[in-house]
């Protein structure tokens, strides 16, 4: 059974990173819709609220981390983590998904704070071997950001079959 223990994390007295609660679901759905529109991905608004609520209610599906300005409650960014078992390493791979930072807060360290806390959580958990993120070929800004924070290009391609 996957157990996640979480403590709020304050980054440089600027941002607080915390596990999302159900009270955050509506804002997360809005973030998700904006993200998908910006990536020209299909959006099904009628599914978003229940879709973002699912991992909040059941951590076996994943978890959302949210960022706020320290001592404030308004969400300014988020990411979702899902888990994949890696039998070769006898540990989990954590996948970062649904990364979104409010346009007023971009390039101010919000994603970096979320990412650093993800790394800290993975190290504290002790059974996580890798953190990965999928990035679209044409999202050059994101690719530069991921390289700048120490991630490496795996040169893998991703294929899908939509049901």
Let me know if residue 53 belongs to a domain: yes
Instruction: Give a yes or no: residue 29 inside a domain.
Output: yes
Residue 65's nearest CA partner among 8, 127, 124 is: 8
Report the CATH number that the domain containing residue 114 is assigned in CATH. Answer: 3.40.630.30
| pLDDT tens readout for residues 38-71 | 888 888 888 999 999 999 999 999 999 999 998 8
Residue-by-residue DSSP string for 31-50: HHHHHHHHTT----HHHHHH
pLDDT for position 162: 83
Domain count, the chain: 1
Confidence band of 1 (pLDDT split at 50, 70, 90): very low
Q: Domain of residue 63: give its range.
A: 9-148
Q: Which residues lie below 8 Å from residue 13, measured CB to CB, with a gap of 6+?
A: 70
pLDDT per residue as tens digits for the range 94-153: 999 999 999 999 999 999 999 999 999 999 999 999 999 998 888 888 899 899 989 998
CA separation, residue 123 to residues 57, 129, 152 (Å): 24, 9, 18
- Cβ atoms of 111 and 59 within 8 Å: the answer is no
């Amino acid at each position: 059974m996957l157990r996640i223990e979480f403590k709020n994390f304050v980054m440089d007295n600027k941002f607080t990173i915390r596990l999302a609660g159900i009270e955050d679901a509506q804002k997360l759905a809005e973030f998700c819709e904006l993200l998908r529109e910006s990536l020209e991905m299909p959006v099904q608004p009628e599914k978003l609220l229940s879709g973002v609520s699912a991992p909040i209610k059941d951590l076996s599906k994943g978890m959302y981390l949210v960022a706020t300005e320290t001592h404030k409650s308004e969400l300014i960014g988020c990411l979702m983590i899902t888990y994949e078992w890696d039998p070769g390493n006898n540990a989990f791979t954590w996948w970062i998904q649904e990364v979104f930072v409010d346009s007023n807060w971009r390039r101010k360290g919000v994603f970096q704070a979320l990412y650093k806390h993800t790394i800290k959580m993975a190290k504290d958990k002790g059974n996580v071997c890798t953190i990965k993120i999928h990035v679209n070929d044409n999202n050059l800004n994101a690719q530069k950001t991921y390289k700048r924070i120490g991630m490496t290009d795996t040169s893998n391609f991703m294929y899908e079959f939509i049901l």
